[in-house]
Structure 1
Amino acid sequence: MDRKDFLNSMGMSAAAFALINCIGCKKNSESSSSDTTGPTGVNFTLDLSLAANATLLSNGGSLVSNGVIIAKTNAGAYIAVQRSCTHESYTLTYQSANSRFYCPNHGATFSENGAVTNGPASRSLTVYNTQLTGTTLKVYS
């Protein structure tokens, strides 16, 4: 194989790889854009004595369960919101230092009560109720 054939082959391989990845991105964005609402019929409990849920024992801790982000605020209250951004359904993170939920994809932010504080999102997050009884935290619609 001479240099020209080799470079031609490499270029075609790179182009095919890029095309496959672009098609995959389009599929993912189409499916994620339809999932910008929170789950319905939410009703589950978390045992805070289990190691898997230990992050919720500390103020500022959070975890994701059943499509919901559950967090313990710096003031010690439990809050729960949908895990996906209302803009394009990317996974949110809880930033306790800023008392907000943050979308790392486009920079949307939401207050602890789910209200949009910075776009491009224009719709508030679905907020769920929480109730602590002993070491059992109930999250429900």
Structure 2
Amino acid sequence: MNLEEKISRNEFLKKMGFTGAALMALYTLDSCVNETGVTPSGTATLDLSLPANAALKNEGGYVVTNGIVVAKYNGNYIAATLTCSHEGRTQISFKNNEWYCSAHGARFDVSGKGLNTEGKKGLGIYKTSLSGNILTVTP
């Protein structure tokens, strides 16, 4: 097999010697970890008066900070993890009023619920609160 060929996860694990119960255990553990998406952790604070956060003045605009994507949606601020639950890629953005992963096309609604097969594991969502120009994002 050359480096350009791709194999499925199942094929790879079988080639590594995993079969039967061991293979099932790996899939079960993986699905438990990601069942509801990546669990958010940490807190972020954004000063909305700073030029770096100017995109949040516009409906549908978003910024990325500390592994979190923050967007303006229906006049409010919403936030999600930057890490997609599909394959762990850090490529989540806010597009067409939904969270979107540009790696494989995973789509999630604003509450983190998957909208297609790639997004079926869901997406970790954060809480936001605004005090003056300071937006606080917490798990």
- TM-score, scaled relative to structure 2: 0.70
Q: Which amino acid aligns with 1:137?
A: L
- Moved segments of 4+, more than 4 Å: 33-36
Q: Hey, what does 1:26 align to over in structure 2?
A: none
Structure having the higher Rg: 1
Q: Which has the higher helix share?
A: 1
Output one character per residue of 1:61-115: Cα deviation in whole Å (capped at 9) or x when no partner: 1011111100001x111000001110112211110xx211111222110001111
Q: Hey, what does 1:124 align to over in structure 2?
A: 122
Q: Which moved more, 1:60-69 or 1:115-124?
A: 115-124
% identity of equivalent residues: 39
Q: Which amino acid aligns with 2:136?
A: K
Gaps of 5+ in 1: 1-17, 23-32
- TM-score, scaled relative to structure 1: 0.69
Partner SS state of residue 119, structure 2: coil
Instruction: Supply the RMSD in Å over aligned alpha carbons.
Output: 2.3
Q: Hey, what does 1:93 align to over in structure 2?
A: 93
Q: How does 1:1-141 map to 2 (within 5 A)?
A: 37-40=38-41, 42-73=42-73, 75-90=74-89, 91-95=91-95, 98-141=96-139
Aligned residues: 109
Q: Which amino acid aligns with 1:81?
A: A
Distance in 1 separating the partners of 2:131 and 2:82? 24
Shift, 1:38, TM fit = 4.1
Gaps of 5+ in 2: 6-29
